[in-house]
A = this chain, B = another copy of it.
Amino acid sequence: MATSKRAAKATQESLHRIFTIPEAPDSTLGRIEQEISQNLAGFLGDHIAAKEIALSEIEKDFACSQIPEDPSFVSDHMHHLLDKLVAQSVHTSSPSFIGHMTSALPYFLLPLSKLMVGLNQNLVKIETSKAFTPLERQVLGMMHRLVYGYQDDFYQQWMHSADHSLGAFCSGGTVANITALWVARNNLLKPEGEFKGVARQGLYAALKHYQYDGVAILVSKRGHYSLKKAADVLGIGQDSVIAIPTDQHNKIDCVALKAKCEELSAKNIRVMSIVGVAGTTETGNIDPLTEMAAIAKHYDCHFHVDAAWGGATLLSNKHRNLLAGIELADSVTIDAHKQMYVPMGAGLVVFKNPASVASIEHHAEYILRKGSKDLGSHTLEGSRPGMAMLVYASLHIISRPGYELLINQSIDKAKYFADIIEAHPDFELISKPELCLLTYRYNPAKIQQGIDKLTADKQLEVNKLLDKLTKYIQKRQRENGKSFVSRTRIEVEKYQGRKTLVFRVVLANPLTSDDILQDVLSEQAELALESQRFLPKLFKLVQQ
Mark the stretch among A229-237, A319-327, A460-468, A533-541 that contacts chain B: A229-237
The residues of B that contact A44 with a CB separation of less than 8 Å are: 21, 118
Contact of A198 with B68 at beta-carbon distance under 8 Å, contacts A22-B107, A115-B40 already known: no
A6 within 8 A of B: no
The residues of B that contact A532 with a CB separation of less than 8 Å are: none
Check if A117 sits within 8 Å of B113, measured CB to CB: yes
Q: Please, how many angstroms separate the alpha-carbon atoms of A102 and B456 in the complex?
A: 65
A187 within 8 A of B: no
A33 within 8 A of B: yes
> Can you give 8 A-B contacts (C-beta < 8 A)?
A69-B400, A70-B401, A100-B122, A171-B384, A186-B232, A234-B235, A365-B488, A365-B499
The residues of B that contact A100 with a CB separation of less than 8 Å are: 122, 125, 127-128
Check if B199 sits within 8 Å of A232, measured CB to CB: yes
Check if B174 sits within 8 Å of A128, measured CB to CB: no
Mark the stretch among A142-150, A288-296, A422-430, A441-449 that contacts chain B: A142-150
From the candidates B32, B81, B146, B510, name the one contacting A15 in the complex (CB within 8 A): B510
Check if B233 sits within 8 Å of A233, measured CB to CB: yes
A252 within 8 A of B: no
Check if B380 sits within 8 Å of A63, measured CB to CB: no
Q: Please, how many angstroms separate the alpha-carbon atoms of A120 and B92 in the complex?
A: 7
Check if B18 sits within 8 Å of A107, measured CB to CB: yes
Contact of A383 with B127 at beta-carbon distance under 8 Å, contacts A19-B107, A109-B117, A401-B11 already known: no
Check if A337 sits within 8 Å of B383, measured CB to CB: yes
Determine the residue in chain B with the shortest Cβ distance to A60.
B134
Query: A407: shortest Cβ distance to chain B, in Å?
Result: 11
Check if B344 sits within 8 Å of A205, measured CB to CB: no
Q: Please, how many angstroms separate the alpha-carbon atoms of A249 and B236 in the complex?
A: 40
A133 within 8 A of B: yes
Check if B59 sits within 8 Å of A160, measured CB to CB: yes
Contact of A131 with B89 at beta-carbon distance under 8 Å, contacts A238-B199, A385-B344 already known: yes
A265 within 8 A of B: no
Check if B172 sits within 8 Å of A225, measured CB to CB: no
A66 within 8 A of B: yes
Q: Please, how many angstroms separate the alpha-carbon atoms of A170 and B344 in the complex?
A: 13
Check if A21 sits within 8 Å of B107, measured CB to CB: yes
Mark the stretch among A253-261, A297-305, A389-397 that contacts chain B: A389-397
Mark the stretch among A71-79, A413-421, A522-530 that contacts chain B: A71-79
Check if B366 sits within 8 Å of A504, measured CB to CB: yes
Check if A58 sits within 8 Å of B383, measured CB to CB: no
The residues of B that contact A454 with a CB separation of less than 8 Å are: none
Q: Please, how many angstroms separate the alpha-carbon atoms of A102 and B18 in the complex?
A: 17
Check if B366 sits within 8 Å of A281, measured CB to CB: yes
Check if A114 sits within 8 Å of B282, measured CB to CB: no
Check if A90 sits within 8 Å of B128, measured CB to CB: yes
A274 within 8 A of B: no
